[in-house]
Amino acid sequence: MTFAPVLIVRRYQALGLILFGILLGSVALFSRDSDFFPTRPPYPNRIALTFDDGPHPEFTGRILRVLEEHQVAATFFVVGKQAARYPDLLKAMDRRGHELANHTYNHPNLALLHPTDVVRELDETRGVIESVTQRRQRFFRPPGGQYKASTLDTANRSGYQMILWTVFPQDHVPAITPETIYERVMATARDGGVVLFHSGVEATLAVLPRVISDLRAKGFQFLTVSEMLEEKINPVVRSAWYFPGNGDALAAGPANKPSVKKTVNL
């Protein structure tokens, strides 16, 4: 009988310790789950990588391998005559989860074409893409960013939506260095931005892994153009590439501000 109070106290102490341990564990689990389970890093920014002028027999496969290695889905604005010539590359883009879009059939200056010819350029490329992938597409990018109000109106009435860009490293310029491309991308990347690369540039391929890794380290998530349109992103940036003429693109000089009145030569 003399030991009963001691045993009772010890039981209450043990119960208290157990309850305290459960409470402490719950707090730790819910407030600091990253200490216990691996979680995806936060992505406060979204950006789309786009590639013009392919598919290219030498470069496209290499671009696809880099994107696959880094688990990035991109949007390819393909030239119709190239797509018709290299359907296997078109299939590879689609099979690996990339988005295919329209860069006209012959890569002309759309601002100089009659509306009928504008529609023909876009329709022929759409036909190639759909015959190879069985996927409907509606996005196009005018070669060189060259267009005028009537071009845009014609394309819209034919079921197309123009996509421009906000990050323009000018990787098409002869003798450009990977470092220059890198600096221009990193200086102008913003939430909701669209990067314009070209498919046949050695310097772009050389720097692409670094660009992807460093943008991701800065909190960027890579989306296709379609996925970007589903996101709530910076409306000022979005207006630069999705609503031409309704807003100014962000910052890297005149060539980074495509509009109805001003174009750039690529």
Give the pLDDT confidence of 105-143 residue by residue, as tens digits: 999 999 999 999 999 999 999 999 999 999 999 999 999
What tokens does 175 get? 């003798």
Over residues 9-36, the mean pLDDT reads: 49
Residue by residue, what is the 3-state secondary structure of the chain?
A: CCCHHHHHHHHHHHHHHHHHHHHHHHHHHHHCHHHCCCCCCCCCEEEEEEEECCCCCCCHHHHHHHHHHCCCCCEEEECHHHHHHCHHHHHHHHHCCCEEEECCCCCCCHHHCCHHHHHHHHHHHHHHHHHHHCCCCCEECCHHHCCCHHHHHHHHHCCCEECCCCECCCCCCCCCCHHHHHHHHHHHCCCCEEEEEECCCHHHHHHHHHHHHHHHHCCEEECCHHHHHHCCCCHHHHHHHHCCCCCCCCCCCHHHCCCCCCCCCC
184 pLDDT above the threshold of 60: yes
180 pLDDT above the threshold of 60: yes
Residues 264, 255 contacting (CB under 8 angstroms): yes
Q: Which pLDDT value is given to residue 244?
A: 80
- Residue 222 exposure: Cα atoms within 13 Å on the Cβ side: 21
Which residues are the active-site residues? 52, 198
Gyration radius from the chain CA atoms: 26
Give the pLDDT confidence of 42-97 residue by residue, as tens digits: 578 999 999 999 999 999 999 999 999 999 999 999 999 999 999 999 999 999 99
Over residues 212-221, the mean pLDDT reads: 97
What tokens does 261 get? 């009145």
d(CA 229, CA 29): 35
1 pLDDT above the threshold of 80: no
Q: Which pLDDT value is given to residue 21?
A: 55
Share of the chain above pLDDT 90, in %: 73
197 pLDDT above the threshold of 80: yes
Q: Which pLDDT value is given to residue 232?
A: 86
Preceding amide of 55 cis, omega within 30: yes
- Average pLDDT of the chain, as a whole number: 84
Over residues 215-227, the mean pLDDT reads: 97
Q: Which pLDDT value is given to residue 243?
A: 86
Give the pLDDT confidence of 129-179 residue by residue, as tens digits: 999 999 999 999 999 999 999 999 999 999 999 999 999 999 999 999 999
250 pLDDT above the threshold of 60: no
What tokens does 168 get? 């323009």
45-256 maps to which CATH number?
A: 3.20.20.370
pTM of the model: 0.79
CATH 3.20.20.370 range(s) for the chain read 45-256
d(CA 76, CA 93): 8
Of 256 and 18, more confident? 18
